Amino acid sequence: MASILRRGRIPVPPTGISEYIDQVYTIKGFFGPWAHLYRKHNTAHVTSASRPDLIYQGLDTGKVEPTDAHDPAGEPLVLMEGPRNAVAISARSQAAPFAERNVDRHQIRFYHEGRYVLETEFGPLEVGPGDFVVVPANIVYREIPVDPGTPGSILILESEHHISLSEELWDKVGFAGVFVDYSAMELATPQERNAEAITRVRLRVDNEYEWLEYAFDPTRDVIGWLGDPIVFKMNVWDVPGIGTTHNFLTPPANAVLFAEDYSCFFNVLGPRPAVTTPPPNGSVGAPAHLNDYDEVWFKHASELAEASTGHLWNLPRTITHPGMRRPAEYPPNPVRMVREMSLNFDTKAKLYWTDEARRAWFPDPQRELYSSFYGSHTGTAADDAATHVARSKQ
């Protein structure tokens, strides 16, 4: 029996566009059984819900204020948290009077704004906008702002499970991930520095803050190391966008990092190659879709929707994620790089918005999703949102 079956009327190929709403249903994130449905209405648009967090919600991370923005001993602000993962934002403007160590979770620290020296037990790294650094659990680190007094913006993605390079994932399915040049990663390298200073290390353990104190600085006393790349830096603009002549690929095709148990994926979605197949077989934009993972999206840069930079969205598994199809347009020459960059964090573990984050939610998420999230995800102008919503209800 064929592995791909058809029932009913299929108006266009899965890559195409028609008068119907197309929706993808997948199991095990994007790695299990799937089906592509063609509908008359978009199930992402509801008239009401018993709980507001059952539908997609978002906020502007520039409008929330972590305590570390003005207090050197302050903390990042947790925006979403579950039993195994968390999403937080830091705006550190001054060096903390202590080093830090997260005992509970591994971290991906993405630097949206600001420049820092990230000191670790493996050596320092200079980081700035677009850089992300993997900081495994139990590693001591300290962030020192290059421009003290100026708050930055650091998105912190936490996972209970070890974070690996996605080349391991693609190796298992026969695709070696050659589109990501992992040899370009920058490794932390020890430097000869004075470590003779009493140092307090703030621990995050059992979901609480505790501390240990040393007679020396653990981030400065290592003189060398050998082994696997434990702490390293990469930049999102060095990750090329991938696609097809018909349409773009699902987010995990853009995976750069993933958890060893497949519980979460860190995907970098930069500018994709131009789609050269015209309608009805080709289109630009994602179909509506529903699966068993929560999706967290962060907008790092957008020339098509500048006001959306810094916006954070959670598209939960409880509702269909709305799509936005449009006809493909071949770009004019000369070719130039479009400054569009989104990060996606897919997680099997459920995430819950914190009370502080709820107070910063956009007031009209069903419309804001198109002008903020989809505004640059597919290149569709914000003014098209109302038209698309009306079309879905016909």
Number of alpha carbons in the 13 Å side-chain half-sphere of residue 380: 25
Per-residue pLDDT of the chain (394 residues; tens, 9 = 90+): 456 778 889 998 888 888 888 888 888 877 778 888 898 888 888 888 899 999 999 999 999 999 999 999 999 999 999 988 999 999 999 999 999 999 999 999 999 999 999 999 999 999 999 999 999 999 999 999 999 999 999 999 999 999 988 877 665 554 445 578 888 899 999 998 899 999 999 999 988 999 999 999 999 999 888 888 899 999 999 988 887 888 777 777 788 898 877 778 899 988 877 888 888 888 888 888 888 889 999 999 988 788 899 999 999 999 988 887 888 777 677 877 788 899 999 888 889 999 999 999 999 888 888 877 765 333 333 344 444 433 433 3
Architecture of domain 65-235 in this structure = Sandwich (2.60)
Q: What are the DSSP calls for 105-150, one per residue?
A: -EEEEEEEE--EEEEETTEEEEE-TTEEEEE-TT--EEEEESSTTS
Q: Are residues 349 and 84 in contact, defined by beta-carbon separation less than 8 angstroms?
A: yes
Length of the chain: 394
Question: What is the residue whose two structure tokens read 């569709």?
Answer: 380
Q: Give the dihedral sign, CA 103/106/111/115.
A: positive
> Amino acid identity, residue 171?
D
The structure tokens listed for 21 are 């709403």
Give the N- to C-terminal CA distance of the chain in Å, as an integer. 37
Sheet with 34-39: strands ordered across: 34-39, 21-26, 288-290
Question: What is the residue whose two structure tokens read 């300290």?
Answer: 142
Q: How far is CA 61 from CA 153, 298, 300, 346, in A?
A: 8, 9, 11, 19
> Amino acid identity, residue 142?
R
Please tell me the distance from the alpha carbon of residue 58 to that of residue 365, in angstroms, as a whole number: 7
| Domain boundaries along the sequence of the chain | 21-60+239-392, 65-235
Pairing of strands 99-102, 199-205: parallel
Neighbours of 225 (CB within 10 A): 14
Cα Rg of the chain, angstroms: 22
